[in-house]
Structure 1
């Protein structure tokens, strides 16, 4: 009898332990179900009909639209070294006349300054004397050559005549070159001390640096000429922008001081080496059309025009952001007093004219209604829900 009582006690304890373990397992399973429900609830936002009316909520569907992608760039109008000329004189002298003023248009070869140098008269006199001497030396050279061939005179006489003739020819060429450099032709000598400085290229006189009566040297800058035909855009691209650019692309731009005047340019060179100081890339574009009203150094804003393509889009107001990620809210269901929204993460693509390309990360059922006006209110409610129970009304 004693052993029967002990056996019954042991079985009772064993049964109690098994029951407790089963209850704990059931509680754990229930806890997991609650956690799963909370995780699902964090992706769902519920708005009452009153809230929806108050915020003026509107909807749209993801639709295919033809959209242009654009890249916005900034930079300046630039003039390459070949577009600017510093006017100088090939000979020192005193300025007698100035024929132009700052801001004036000039053509290549146009007279800009008249200078005086008395050495020019000496050069012309020397040239005349050397040309006269050459006539005699040429005849003497022929005579000495004939005598040497007939062995009637030493050969060294012929060689001496040949040397004098060559030296005189060299002097004439040097004097010709000196006069030619200052615009005086040796075949029309008039024994003048005046010479002219002409424009080396067409353009606009940017700066006039001297005045009448000044004495200048060959190192003295007289004026600056800008040729606006060589103006181009020097733009800066950053990060992923460089992958959307290519040579030959057209872009629209405007000068910051005249935003109402839209001009065009064409990209002709992209420097693919990044500037390590600001992580930028140099982009150069040739200006298309009239450049007469543009000036070097002016700040510009430009938009590169890409080809149209068909993409899935939503109005830009439908896309919200949180901690660097983008979300939209799709209608998941509704009852008499509220509407349930599903929070869906997406990526943004190109944008144009108020629409943005949608690149879903999670599946979105076809034809889903997406919150547009009021989407930011839903995002705010979603964040409140995350701070609380994950389920917010």
Structure 2
């Protein structure tokens, strides 16, 4: 009996201790955290110092390529189109015929003007000789003053008629030349606007030409960045047609005023395009090189990226401390760090997937 009572007492005492332990566990403070020291041997790591270096600065912009020369070529005459052999994309040289109008009336007009000029010259020569003869007679009083004045008037009238005939011939020859529309510069046909047999008026656009060996890149720079612009500044860009290739040029023109509505400034860069890969009208993603600035830099293999966050491990007192960092632009083989680190700190290179915050490390 006595042993039974002792057994029961022990059971009751054990149960009571369990209840007490459970009570303290479930009623512990909410901010109490049980910390366990990292276990295992220290992890061997390689490190690099956080350095301050000159880091290039870039302004990311979008823009559009335009032809250095672009012209909507128009005719200065009216008539029926009899020749239009150009096609879209065709290469033309300065002076090549683009379109020709029916020039039969213009040729007849030139012939008529030439005949009128010939007649006017003959009249003028006759009047000139008559005036010279009357001048000699007038010196010896052998001709009346009225006859002399009449000869002089005839001379002046014939001289004016000769000038009018010369102008009319020039005009007729111009009208004849205007029946042929030629390329004003060497380039490519972007579009033909007329067809054979079509009647056009003076001023009608017959073709659009572009010169593409040199292009202009038009960019809109925010007002806040205007102070960083200068002629000769380097700009690099990519286009959708060649995403793996980077093109470059230099700023040639800087706008004189900021636009009211968009609060930006238009600049233009000159782009060499001897291989003619780039086309006017292409949209580009550009990067404008600004003045370098001093910033922290770490090797690229020190950064671990998870989603939108970038982390590094810093060695402090023999332990790895994980830190969230703000990255910037590439800087050679490294990456700019804009926040989260201090110069001189030691960052772990190629951190192992098993490396955790607080892990013991040795260098």
Per the normalisation by structure 1, the TM-score is: 0.63
Inter-partner Cα distance in structure 2 for 1:142 and 1:155? 14
Matching of residue 128 in structure 1 with residue 115 in structure 2: yes
Q: Is the Cα contact below 8 Å between 1:264 and 1:289 reproduced in 2?
A: no
Q: Is the Cα contact below 8 Å between 1:75 and 1:300 reproduced in 2?
A: yes
Residues 143-189 of structure 1, C-alpha deviations (whole Å, 9 max, x = no match): 224414642233243023212221222222232233135329xxxxx
The match for 2:12 is none
Q: CA deviation at 1:137?
A: 1.5
The match for 2:149 is 155
The match for 2:38 is 49
Q: Is the Cα contact below 8 Å between 1:127 and 1:176 reproduced in 2?
A: no
Q: CA deviation at 1:265?
A: 1.0
Matching of residue 217 in structure 1 with residue 201 in structure 2: yes
Matching of residue 142 in structure 1 with residue 142 in structure 2: no
Inter-partner Cα distance in structure 1 for 2:223 and 2:330? 17
Change over 3 Å in CA distance of 1:291–1:246 after alignment to 2: farther
Inter-partner Cα distance in structure 1 for 2:175 and 2:39? 91
Change over 3 Å in CA distance of 1:318–1:238 after alignment to 2: farther
The structure richer in helix per residue is 1
Inter-partner Cα distance in structure 1 for 2:113 and 2:266? 56
Q: Is the Cα contact below 8 Å between 2:116 and 2:165 reproduced in 1?
A: no
Q: Is the Cα contact below 8 Å between 2:215 and 2:273 reproduced in 1?
A: no
Inter-partner Cα distance in structure 2 for 1:268 and 1:156? 67
Q: 1:112 aligned to 98, 102, 122, which one?
A: 98
Matching of residue 100 in structure 1 with residue 86 in structure 2: yes
Alignment gaps of 5+ in structure 1? 1-45, 185-194, 321-325, 382-393
Secondary structure, aligned partner of 1:201: coil
Change over 3 Å in CA distance of 1:218–1:348 after alignment to 2: same
The match for 1:33 is none
Q: Is the Cα contact below 8 Å between 2:92 and 2:189 reproduced in 1?
A: yes
Q: CA deviation at 1:238?
A: 3.5
Q: Is the Cα contact below 8 Å between 1:251 and 1:266 reproduced in 2?
A: yes
Inter-partner Cα distance in structure 2 for 1:240 and 1:53? 51
Q: 1:226 aligned to 195, 202, 210, which one?
A: 210
Root mean square deviation of aligned Cα: 4.5
Secondary structure, aligned partner of 1:227: strand
The structure richer in strand per residue is 2
Inter-partner Cα distance in structure 2 for 1:48 and 1:240? 51
The match for 1:352 is 331
Alignment gaps of 5+ in structure 2? 1-34, 305-309, 359-363
Residues 328-356 of structure 1, C-alpha deviations (whole Å, 9 max, x = no match): 8855535xxxx485989x99776434634
Inter-partner Cα distance in structure 2 for 1:162 and 1:172? 16
